[in-house]
Structures are given as structure tokens and as C-alpha cells.
């Protein structure tokens, strides 16, 4: 039933146009083998034999949306450096519009380097600046962005807490979206969820929800609902969609809680799975799916990408096949 609805929506509706706003990153992978420990320290020696660079953060959300078939605008900042240019080049190769990406002279482009031996990640090295963008750049960025909010079907805030989505900028974007009648969904970070006030959906994972709601531990449904209600009250969001790892996805409103079980699959790497979930939610909601249907499809999408090492994407055809087979 859901597979048929997804197929029909894909073929009968024009592609939705979605604006993704958030922190841009470059995911750098070094692959190799490790057969012995270093004589210098109790760490493995990785014999590197391959490397790759992939767009990450909000750019990975945009990449997921493109592969699902959406039209995408991506807004964010990069540093004035070679890594920033690599991010733009990779985006252009994916046919993602880069006209809303601006350079911040006061920061480096975020680069996450992961060293992987076989199928195991040995270490991650982060090169980044995480201070807030300046008030001047914030004003310029918002004024640059505002006209595009009228053109799109939905807006996604992909917040990795790297300095773009300041408290004031997030509230300005949300306020304008509400004025224009546009739904905004948020992948949050940090402890201050007041900056997401007025969002339609907020999608934390269990750990993020516990930290933001100041809940010591979310170990059962009662604790989950109690923590969710803290955030719903603070943000006035319509829905909280909480990814629960091996327990699936919870869809919570002030009056209800429904848990969608996880789709059984082999897990190789959960990197970027949250990006796939938020992208699939935005895509399905833009096509008229209700929130439970969209979350169910997103659950299946996540089960596909975690079979791959590194940030991966999926397609509507792959999701339809998975829906039919489960």
C-alpha cells in the first residue's frame, strides 16, 4: 500500500522543491588495512590504499534529496579555502544549486577525516571552526536567503552546531516561513531548542532529546514522552520525531506517541543516516504524505543507507523495493 502510494506520488506529482539551510562539511575517508600495532604506541598501523571525499552535513541532506528526485536549493557557509572549493565542486557534480553558499573569511571549511581499516573506523579527525557567524554576515545571509523561501515547497534546517544557525537567524527563518505558510523541519543540535520555536517537525535522536530536555536517561516510553513534552512545550512544534536506533522511530505530539519498529538489516555504518531520515521526511511530506507515512518511509530509507560505509544515499525505487520485501 505504502509502496504503491510512493510510486504514484513520484510519477504523478511534479518534483518538490526543497530548501536546505545548514552547516556544510567535507567528509574525507581514508581506507586501508591494519594487521599490526605500532611499536610507538598501542595503536594499529593502517596501510592506506584508497581515499574519498564526500559532501557532508547539510550538503548530505541535499544530496539525499537530489537522489530521491527533489529539486534542491542549498544554503550555507564555507571557508575561503581549498576545502570549501572542493565542497562546491562536489555539489555542482551532484547538480545541487550552490548560488546560496557564501564564504566566511573568519572560518575554515569543516572537514571530518575518518580512517577506516577494513570495515572498522579507527579514528576521526575534525578540522573546523564552530563560532557563530558574525551579525553582519547573518544579516547578509538572511537577506540573500529570504526571496527563495517563497519559491520552495518546504524548508529543512540541518543544524550541526557549527555556527551558521544562530539563535536569531533560526528564529528569523522560522518566522518568515510561518508568515509564508511554509512548513519547516529541523534536524537539531545543541541544548537550546528555543531557537527552533515554531518549527513543524523537530527530529532529534534519543541522546539529543535527553540532553536538550535535561532528562538523565530515556529508557522507556514514559521517559521518552516526558522528555518530548518538555521540547514540545518550549518549541510549540507540531511533531517531534525521535530516532531511537535499534528501537525504530517515535512520532510524538502533545497528545500521542507512536513508535515505528526498526527495519531489520545489517548495520555497517550509521554515518549520515539522520540526514537520510530528515531528507526522506521532507520529500514525502512535500508530496502530501501524512507524518506517520513519511516517517515510515524514512525508516526504510535509513535501513538501506546503514548497509554502506560512509555517508550514503538511496532512491525512491530502492525504498519501494524494500517496502515490498518487508
17-22, strands of its sheet edge to edge: 97-104, 71-79, 17-22, 154-158, 183-187, 201-202, 239-243, 249-252, 257-260
Handedness of CA 136, 141, 144, 149 (dihedral sign): negative
Longest CA span, the chain: 63
Contact (Cβ atoms closer than 8 angstroms) between residue 214 and residue 222:
no
Q: 288 pairs with which residues across the strands?
A: none
Q: Which residue has the cell 518549541?
A: 235
Rounded to whole angstroms, the Cα distance separating 242 from 118 reads: 31
Catalytic pick from 222, 269, 275, 290? 275
Q: How many CA atoms are closer than 13 Å to the CA of 174, on its beta-carbon side? A: 23
275 is known as an active-site residue: yes
Which residues are CB-neighbours of 301 under 8 A, at least 6 positions away? 276, 277, 279, 280, 314, 319
CA distances from 249 to 157, 209, 246, 299, 310 (A): 19, 13, 9, 7, 22
* 19 Cα distance to chain centroid: 13
Grid cell 507515512 is found at: 293
Question: In 140-164, which positions are buried (b, 16+ CB within 10 angstroms) versus exposed (e)?
Answer: ebeeebeebbeebbbbbbbbbebbb
Name the phi and psi angles at 195, rounded to 5: -75, -10
Instruction: Indicate the SS3 state at residue 15.
Output: coil
Q: Catalytic positions, please?
A: 275
Amino acid at each position: 500500500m505504502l509502496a504503491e502510494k510512493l510510486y504514484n506520488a513520484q510519477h504523478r506529482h511534479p518534483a518538490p522543491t526543497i530548501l536546505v539551510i545548514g552547516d556544510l562539511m567535507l567528509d574525507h575517508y581514508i581506507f586501508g588495512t591494519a594487521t599490526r600495532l605500532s611499536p610507538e604506541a598501542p595503536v594499529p598501523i593502517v596501510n592506506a590504499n584508497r581515499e574519498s571525499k564526500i559532501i557532508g552535513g547539510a550538503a548530505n541532506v541535499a544530496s539525499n534529496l537530489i537522489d530521491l528526485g527533489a529539486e534542491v536549493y542549498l544554503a550555507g557557509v564555507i571557508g575561503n579555502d581549498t576545502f570549501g572549493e572542493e565542497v562546491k565542486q562536489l555539489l555542482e557534480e551532484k547538480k545541487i544549486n550552490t548560488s546560496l553558499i557564501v564564504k566566511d573569511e573568519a572560518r575554515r571549511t569543516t572537514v571530518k577525516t575518518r580512517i577506516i581499516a577494513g570495515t572498522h573506523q579507527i579514528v576521526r579527525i575534525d578540522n573546523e571552526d564552530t563560532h557563530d557567524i558574525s551579525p553582519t554576515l547573518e544579516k547578509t545571509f538572511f537577506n540573500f536567503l529570504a526571496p527563495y523561501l517563497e519559491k520552495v515547497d518546504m524548508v529543512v534546517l540541518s543544524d550541526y552546531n557549527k555556527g551558521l544557525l544562530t539563535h536569531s537567524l533560526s528564529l528569523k527563518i522560522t518566522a518568515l516561513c510561518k508568515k509564508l505558510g511554509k512548513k519547516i523541519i529541523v534536524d537539531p543540535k545543541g541544548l537550546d531548542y528555543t531557537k527552533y520555536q515554531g518549527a513543524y517537525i523537530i527530529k532529534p535522536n534519543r541522546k539529543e532529546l535527553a540532553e536538550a530536555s535535561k532528562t538523565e536517561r530515556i529508557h522507556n516510553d514514559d521517559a521518552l514522552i516526558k522528555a518530548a513534552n518538555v521540547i514540545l512545550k518550549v518549541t510549540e512544534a507540531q511533531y517531534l520525531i525521535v530516532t531511537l536506533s535499534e528501537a525504530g522511530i517515535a512520532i510524538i505530539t502533545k497528545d500521542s506517541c507512536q513508535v515505528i519498529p526498526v527495519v531489520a538489516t545489517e548495520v555497517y555504518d550509521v554515518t549520515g543516516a539522520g540526514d537520510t531520515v530528515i531528507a526522506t521526511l521532507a520529500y514525502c511530506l512535500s508530496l502530501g504524505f501524512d507524518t506517520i507515512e513519511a516517517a515510515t518511509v524514512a525508516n526504510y530509507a535509513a535501513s538501506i543507507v546503514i548497509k554502506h560505509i560512509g555517508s550514503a544515499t538511496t532512491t525512491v525505487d530502492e525504498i519501494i523495493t524494500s517496502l515490498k520485501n518487508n
